[in-house]
Amino acid sequence: MESRPLRPLALLLTAVALGATACAGRVATVEAAPDAANPECAPAMVAMPDALGDAALRPTDSQATAVWGDPAAVVLRCGVPVPGPTTDRCISVDGVDWVIRDEDENWRIVTYGRDPAVEVLFGKDKASSDTVMVGLASAVAQIDADGGCVNLQDATPVG
């Protein structure tokens, strides 16, 4: 009995794989954070929501990153440098503390009191800060907190 190549099956499987990839959306290019390979990022990344507001989660081309919307409305990177003490605005939303930086047309928020830190960048006109922080809280909370925001009256004086 002569064996026949499984070429039609291979072509079908390739077509199915390509179709599944196409349905997931365009792959977003995101620069990985310096500590993206930190194993503490993995549980947070697995828990990321499928959508933030009207923006759907898209595949990315780098480790410990996530993007919602096409074009990107929200970009997340796990493994950014942990912020030290700061006078920048710091707020707690659903048990996650965030340092908030106003960058003209964008907001940059970084978790405070968690190592590794998670950074999220989003356009002020593309997503609301409430939607982003509330939507990401349960995923980011997968990284244990070892500190948090304090107000000036509660801060420990240095030296």
Domain edges within the chain:
26-154
- Is 78 in contact with 38 (CB distance < 8 Å)? yes
Q: pLDDT tens for residues 56-66?
A: 999 999 999 99
Q: pLDDT tens for residues 44-94?
A: 999 999 999 999 999 999 999 999 999 999 999 999 999 999 999 999 999
Q: How many whole angstroms separate alpha carbon 124 and alpha carbon 73?
A: 9
